[in-house]
Amino acid sequence: MELYFLKSAACLGIFFLFYKLILEQENMHVFKRIYLLFSVIASMLIPLITFYTYVEASEAGSLLSQQVIQEIDALHSTGENLDWTFILWSIYFIGVIFFSLKFSKNLGELIFRIKRNPKFKDHDVTNVLLPSKIEPHTFFRYIFLNKKRFERGEIPAEVLLHEQAHARQKHSLDILFIELLQIWMWFNPLIYLVKHAIKLNHEFLADQAVIRKGTPKATYQKILLAFSSNAETSNLASAINYSSIKKRFTVMKTHTSKKGILIRSLLLLPLLAVLLYSFSTNEIVQLEEKVQVEGKSAIADFPTQQEKATKKMIKEYNKLAKHYNSQEVDRIIIKMKDVERMKYIYSLMTPKQREAAEEFPHFPLPPRPEAPRHPERIANVERVARIAHPEPPTAPEPPAPHFEQSEMPSPPEEYLGHDGQREMERVQVIEERKMKIAARNMERESREMQKQERMMKRAERDMQKREMEIKFNTPPPPPVPEIHMKQLAEEGAEFFYNGKSISSEEAIKIVKTNKNININVRKSNNEKPTVKLTTDPIEIN
């Protein structure tokens, strides 16, 4: 899951960089709206795409071994980072809860405003008149306006047209989508940049709709300046924003030809191809080997193609394996059809499924066939059995013949010796099997110990690597403006404010009171530093 989030974030970053460099300043706002929404959805779907490569068994040996090694390393890393994974997931779910509550609060405030304030329907939109001093903003078909200014007619028709364009073009759907996505991927800073770009593009679309109604650009720009504000509104509403006006003015003057729109649209195809190749998953599948069994074509017992067994198959395998593992080795009864079925299901399991499933039973070798008995020996044994254990008579019979001890027939010594030897061999085979099973268990435990040692060494290397990355990649913090001014004053710097020379004390005072001051410092080898302080012009994000 962590790898999916990293791939999704990287994919979204490339999409957003393409938008900032190629599309943002162009007058093709409908296409940009579709592109921004598509980039978010594609960033979530591309890491889930898997491409399969089918190769013959003779060609896939090395490729499959590399793939197995990567899967084993991934399993090891999962085991190593178990504690960290729990901590990170806990932080993630805390963030999800926080942003869910924030989203619910903003949505509840908008619904509360709509229900508790007077409303005035204007064709297909509804004006909600609020007593508080607010700037016009829109949520779906509702436009929130200051009641006094609306009743006095102080809100220009161009501002109302701007907000009506937001409502009719359903910009609130885009905002709701990106807000819900932000709850899921709140830790990704690119989500906030994309959300800002979507809202700014909504302003481009609304401005375009007003200008197409016949309003002169210069007049409309003056109205925007008069109604611009940095006052906070709901994150779910569309409002005229002071910080975006300069960029909107620039885009109003831009004209993008149809040829330019076509070229920029076609550039999206190679970008999409590169992202698919870079962030999708590639898997190598080895074709099954066919073998000849008694003149018939059949699939090998363990196919080389690793497919994923279904839950029903795993349940069937566990039932059979548990049945055979519970039986004693010297009294086990084996059905060949069960063995073949277990082999097939086990071959389809992934490594993770095999770890969770029952251990594959250790079936003993079949017993050797008994040697054919000689008819005379069989007759002698039966005669001895009848003499030693006579059947009770059903009718009065003459007394049984009495045999002297020397005349009592005895079982042939050669036969009895052969039977006892066969029993000893059978016991010896069972003991040998038990010793082999114990040796295999010891070998398995030894492999586990070696695996743990490799995991510990890999964890130490990863920790050292992270410490080096943190040591060399941490950027220095930006200087505090007041302290920076004092340091420059100690160096004998000359200070200017809007082209006028000032003292160092005045410069420090200006920096403390005005957080949006621009500071330009110039230094040379032989001259004193020159510090120019200027106020911010109208600036748009």
Token duo for residue 492 = 């004998």
Residues in the chain: 541
Decide: helix, strand or coil at residue 299.
strand
CA distance 243 to 218: 18
Pair 261, 326 in one domain: no
28 domain residue, yes or no: yes
Pair 16, 68 in one domain: yes
pLDDT over 90 at 322, yes or no:
no
148 domain residue, yes or no: no
394 domain residue, yes or no: no
Tell me the mean pLDDT in the region 145-172: 90
399 domain residue, yes or no: no
> What ranges in 19-146 are assigned the alpha helix state H?
29-45, 61-80, 82-116
Angstrom CA distances, 19 to 14, 191, 279, stand at 9, 14, 19
Look at the chain and report how many structural domains it folds into.
3
Angle (deg, nearest 10), helices 268-279 and 29-45:
10
Pair 294, 346 in one domain: yes
Pair 244, 299 in one domain: no
Residue 152: which residues within 8 A CB-CB, separation 6 or more? Answer: none
DSSP state of 23: I
CA distance 459 to 428: 47
Rounded to two decimals, what is the model's pTM? 0.50
CA distance 2 to 14: 19
Report yes or no: 535 and 527 within 8 Å, Cβ to Cβ.
no
For residue 219, give the nearest of 276, 299, 158, 272 by alpha carbon.
158
Tell me the mean pLDDT in the region 398-419: 46
Q: How many CA atoms lie within 13 A of 119 on its CB side?
A: 15
Bridge-based pairing of strands 290-293 and 281-286 is: unpaired
Strand partners, 521: 531
Note the pLDDT of residue 299. Answer: 42
CA distance 301 to 355: 20
DSSP state of 244: G
132 domain residue, yes or no: no
Comparison of pLDDT for 522 and 406, the residue scoring more: 522
Pair 250, 308 in one domain: no
Decide: helix, strand or coil at residue 292.
strand
Pair 293, 250 in one domain: no
Pair 214, 317 in one domain: no
Decide: helix, strand or coil at residue 297.
strand
Report yes or no: 533 and 485 within 8 Å, Cβ to Cβ.
no
Note the pLDDT of residue 240. Answer: 55
DSSP state of 333: -
Pair 334, 269 in one domain: no
> Which among 238, 256, 279 is the end of a domain?
279
CB count in 10 Å sphere of residue 308: 11
Angstrom CA distances, 295 to 102, 178, 292, 304, 410, stand at 72, 64, 6, 22, 53
Comparison of pLDDT for 61 and 345, the residue scoring more: 345
Report yes or no: 231 and 164 within 8 Å, Cβ to Cβ.
no
Domain interval for residue 350: 288-356
Pair 34, 175 in one domain: yes
Token duo for residue 130 = 């609020």
379 domain residue, yes or no: no
412 domain residue, yes or no: no
Pair 27, 175 in one domain: yes
Angstrom CA distances, 403 to 388, 400, 407, 412, stand at 12, 9, 6, 18
426 domain residue, yes or no: no
Tell me the mean pLDDT in the region 175-196: 91
CB count in 10 Å sphere of residue 493: 18
> Which among 279, 303, 321 is the end of a domain?
279
Note the pLDDT of residue 401. Answer: 46
Q: What is the mean pLDDT of the chain?
A: 77
Pair 226, 309 in one domain: no
pLDDT tier for residue 217 given thresholds of 50, 70 and 90: confident
- Per-residue pLDDT tens for 459-504? 888 888 777 777 666 556 667 777 778 888 887 888 888 888 888 8
Angle (deg, nearest 10), helices 171-184 and 157-168:
60
Pair 211, 332 in one domain: no
- Per-residue pLDDT tens for 7-32? 888 999 999 999 999 998 888 899 99
Residue 237: which residues within 8 A CB-CB, separation 6 or more? Answer: 110, 137, 138, 139, 144, 172, 175
User: H or E segment at 146?
Assistant: strand 142-146
CA distance 270 to 248: 29
Bridge-based pairing of strands 142-146 and 125-130 is: parallel
pLDDT tier for residue 135 given thresholds of 50, 70 and 90: confident
pLDDT tier for residue 199 given thresholds of 50, 70 and 90: very high
Report yes or no: 424 and 430 within 8 Å, Cβ to Cβ.
no
User: H or E segment at 416?
Assistant: helix 413-473
Note the pLDDT of residue 492. Answer: 80
Report yes or no: 321 and 332 within 8 Å, Cβ to Cβ.
no
> Which among 339, 356, 373 is the end of a domain?
356
pLDDT over 80 at 538, yes or no:
no
